[in-house]
Structure 1
Amino acid sequence: KSDESQGETKLYYSPKESELMDKDITKEYQALQDKIKSLEKANAVANEELEKSRTEKKEALISQFVSEQKKEGKILPSFEKQLFALLSSATDEKVYSYSKDDETIELSQRELLQEVVTKLPKLIEFAEISAEGEFIIDRQPYNRAGDEVDRRAQLYIKHGKVEKYEDAVRLVLKEDKDLHTEYANEQVQK
């Protein structure tokens, strides 16, 4: 025989009272659920605004970096949009590490790319060529001195510095002694 006694469950509330209490609990539960949904929506809006702000800040920093590198002659103006797109797509989450002078350096994709661009040699140098400073011609890398002489001569004519092509060539060669030497060497080799 078992000494366990069997208990009876007694109802302390009438069925109507239990039903009303269940409704109150359900109302409280629903109110809490509504509040949770409202807070989740507010959180989503705040997160969107935060992400938008971060994106705008990142784009402003990248735009400033690209402009600085263009001014320093590290990138050609024609590559400005491509570099901006590349830096924009680079993440800060992915980290690369390398050793330099027995020291481990860790950089994000974007930081690494910016470091590479910063260390590039000047591709273009902006300098005054005209004696009177009437206009500025950019010094671009060139393979043939003759092509560069022609490019600058055309700009002199375009800006009204001279009218005749022959005069423009003479002026270009007079104002840039290095280019004059390279051009003369090219003419001798022909």
Structure 2
Amino acid sequence: SVDMVAFEKKKISGAVRTDFILSAEIIAITLGTVAAASFSQQVMVLVGIAILMTIGVYGLVAAIVKLDDLGLALSKRASGVASAIGRGILSVAPWLMKSLSVIGTAAMFMVGGGILTHGIRAVHHFIENSAHEALGLPYIGAVLGGLLPTLLDAAFGIIAGGVVLALVTLGGRLFKRGSGAAA
């Protein structure tokens, strides 16, 4: 007994929130890249990135979301090959969605953490120095030196996300308590 309308609204709300965070990260990275450029160049680059991201990324997302519709349509075809491909798409689509959810969340933590660590000089230098030290380790130094900044950025993003979640949760509870007492 699941209210499908409420369930769908919750999913859409989560997707909008995720898109907002992703867009903010893209804008921050873009502005950091063109920080030394003139204002008009910054605006032109942001507009270009916005167009590319809207068409490219959200177009790809739309195609992935419609993947199950394609699988269903193909599975109903008279052709045995088309029908088999359709059934294959239908069996793979849920796994793909779950995998993309996990990968997307990890990527948001990593990118968000990278944005934050680049803005905090001491943390940024710590990460750079740690990666440089890791390069000197025998056998795994090159791999670890390359992965360490990404892993530390992701860890920083997870910690920052946890702190923000705790603050938002606490704020929500305090707000609820305060509005309940006033009523």
TM bucket by the smaller chain? under 0.3
Task: Normalising by structure 1, report the TM-score.
Answer: 0.26
Which one has a larger percent strand, Structure 1 or Structure 2?
A: 1
Q: Which has the higher contact order (CA 8 A, sep 6+)?
A: 2
Larger radius of gyration: 1
TM-score normalised per structure 2: 0.27
Q: Name the structure with the higher helix share.
A: 2
